[in-house]
């Protein structure tokens, strides 16, 4: 049994906003940005992907601007990081974990909304990926970071693509429901985190080129991503 996006629980989308927003505030804290900048980054990453999705669909004002509830997760994330960050600094993977959670949820909600608006499955998958990676791209560019999307030493878009494709297939088969959505989210989250931890890499754009050796952190271990695991 399927459910239309409009009938799906709003908290599913809001939860994705919250996960991404926390990643934005954590990045702001890591770069010693003030609380106003933290709220800005939280809002950019939390709401950016959904705004891109809604503008492309041309289905009225973006949800972030028409539903005040969407403004709550970035504000909540900013406040939580402000009070709790000093006690969680030792968890170096925290930013990536929250980002992976947002990625897992947004690749589904973007795809489902596109399908509900009448997009063909292929286009819906592409929009689902754009929804998932768009906010993180805005966050990293604004914070003067190499976007995870363009990091040759990391896999970022592929988990989102896998989740969007699974969502579209199950939707077409009439098997997309709360249980299968939870399973897809778990698969995408696990894919993203394992890829980051194990430094999985996609082939470079030109065949035959080789990557430079991965940098080592202070402990001498090879780091993942552009800076290894984020503090």
CA dist., res. 189 & res. 3, Å (int): 22
CA dist., res. 143 & res. 10, Å (int): 29
Task: Check: CB of residue 15 under 8 Å from CB of residue 26.
Answer: no
Q: What is the pLDDT of residue 222?
A: 42
For the chain, the domains span 5-197
Q: What is the pLDDT of residue 84?
A: 83
Pick from 221, 220, 224: nearest CA to 211: 224
Residue 80, both tokens: 């939580």
pLDDT in single tens digits along all 231 residues of the chain: 445 444 456 788 899 999 999 999 999 988 889 999 999 999 999 999 999 999 999 988 998 999 999 999 999 999 999 998 776 656 567 899 999 999 999 999 999 999 989 999 999 999 999 999 999 999 999 998 888 888 877 889 999 999 999 999 999 999 998 899 999 999 999 999 999 998 888 877 776 666 665 554 443 444 444 444 444
Hey, which residues does 222 pair with through a beta bridge? 216
Q: What is the pLDDT of residue 152?
A: 76
Q: What is the pLDDT of residue 85?
A: 75
Kindly write down the DSSP assignment for every residue of 143-198, as one continuous string: TT---GGG-TTS--HHHHHHHHHHHHHHHHTT--SHHHHHHHHHHHHHHHHHHHHT
Q: What is the pLDDT of residue 112?
A: 92
- Distance (Å) of CA 116 to CA 31, 57, 62, 219: 40, 10, 15, 50
The reported pTM is 0.84
């Amino acid at each position: 049994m399927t459910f239309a996006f409009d009938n799906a629980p709003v908290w599913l989308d809001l939860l994705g906003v919250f996960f991404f927003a926390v990643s934005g505030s954590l990045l702001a804290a890591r770069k010693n940005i003030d609380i106003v900048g933290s709220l800005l980054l939280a809002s950019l990453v939390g709401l950016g992907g959904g705004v891109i999705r809604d503008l492309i669909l041309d289905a009225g004002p973006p949800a972030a601007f028409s539903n005040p509830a969407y403004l709550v997760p970035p504000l909540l994330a900013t406040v939580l990081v402000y009070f709790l960050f000093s006690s969680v600094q030792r968890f170096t993977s925290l930013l990536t974990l929250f980002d992976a959670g947002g990625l897992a949820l947004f690749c589904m909600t973007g795809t489902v909304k596109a399908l509900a608006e009448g997009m063909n499955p292929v286009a819906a998958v592409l929009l689902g990926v754009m929804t998932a990676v768009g906010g993180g791209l805005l966050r990293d560019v604004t914070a003067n970071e190499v976007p995870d999307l363009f990091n040759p030493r990391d896999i970022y878009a592929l988990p989102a693509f896998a989740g969007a494709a699974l969502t579209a297939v199950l939707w077409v088969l009439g098997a997309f429901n709360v249980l299968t959505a939870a399973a897809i989210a778990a698969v995408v989250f696990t894919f993203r985190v394992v890829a980051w931890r194990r430094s999985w890499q996609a082939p470079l754009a030109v065949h035959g080129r080789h990557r430079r050796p991965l940098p080592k952190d202070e402990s001498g271990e090879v780091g993942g991503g552009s800076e290894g695991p984020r503090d």
